[in-house]
Amino acid sequence: MEEIAVTTVEELREVVRGLGYGVLFRGQTSHYLKGGNPSVVTSFDRKGCIPSQMLKWSRYAESALEAYIGPVARSLDFMQALLQHYGWRSFYVDCSASAAVSAWFASHVYSDKRSLELCEDCGERPVMLSKRMARYDYADGDGHLYAFDLANCAERTG
């Protein structure tokens, strides 16, 4: 892995232009270490998996997403890929073909806050919902933008 330090947006643009096409990007506010080296790891690798919670939330997420975007949400893969931006633990590492999108994630840190909401179920009985309200805030300091050769990624995964 080659490390390149930049201090201005123009330097970053120049480095990205030099990479050419066929590149995927990932932005992080901090390095995750694996074997003492910076590593791009999934949220399951970082935080673990709780199967009983994942199954319950998968069903809930399917219903919630279906209301907003239709039946495409029935895929667990799709749900994990989308909901990882809102604190959902995932088997996936989120990358983008856009360096700008990934640079944004390299400069913004995720947090969430618990919120309680009183509503009704289908029988009009009161139900208290505990929600995690996701947000991203600007993180001052160093960000980390990873660039992956798309052809190399395809070889390793397929």
Read off the pLDDT of residues 73-119 as tens digits, 9 standing for 90 and up.
Answer: 567 777 777 777 777 778 888 888 999 999 999 999 988 899 999 99
pLDDT < 70 positions in the chain: 72-74, 154-158
Burial class (CB in 10 A: 0-12, 13-18, 19+), 25: buried
| Residues 105 and 99: beta-carbon distance below 8 Å | no
pTM for this prediction:
0.71
HSE, CB side, 13 Å, CA atoms: give it for residue 145: 26
Percent of the chain with pLDDT over 90: 37
- For residue 32, the surrounding DSSP H or E stretch is strand 32-34
| Residues 73 and 65: beta-carbon distance below 8 Å | yes
